[in-house]
Amino acid sequence: MLDGATKAAIAEVQPALLKAGNRMADTMRQLAEPSRDSGDLIDSITVTPGGQTTPPYSQPGGEHVVPENQVAITAGNSKVRYPHLVEYGTKKTRAHPFFWPAFRLERKKALASIKRAISKAVRKGAKNGA
């Protein structure tokens, strides 16, 4: 079971997780722009916070509950079931990668901001005598 200080630290980190996830999702949306047809794919890129369920049929992995203290970025939903075809292409359609390139572009910045939030939460906990 988590003690009060740990719960407080986790709560302090949540905004950084969401901010990093949203920044990564924004980059995915920008990279998906050249493949725009109806805009449904771009609109389907979603950030799901911990404890909530990802959209059905989303990529990667489909519908699942995101573990606490995490965020999941997904593309696709019950209306948009083709993000992998855009990402990797098909025999007749060339690929328009957006998901994994955005992940690779934003990963270091996301990790750095999350680590800063953790350090800040630890310092705050130590300062408060927790």
Domain extents in the chain: 12-124
Specify the pLDDT at position 123: 85
- What is the tens place of the pLDDT at every residue in 21-53? 999 999 999 999 988 888 999 999 999 999 999
Residue bearing tokens 């996301």 = 110
Specify the pLDDT at position 1: 47
Q: Is the pLDDT of residue 87 over 70?
A: yes
Average pLDDT value for residue range 3-13: 76
Who contacts 113 (Cβ-Cβ below 8 Å, separation ≥6)?
16, 19, 20
Global confidence as pTM:
0.87
Specify the pLDDT at position 7: 75
Q: Is 82 left (phi over 0), alpha (psi -120 to 50) or beta?
A: alpha
Q: How many residues does the chain have?
A: 130
Specify the pLDDT at position 130: 52
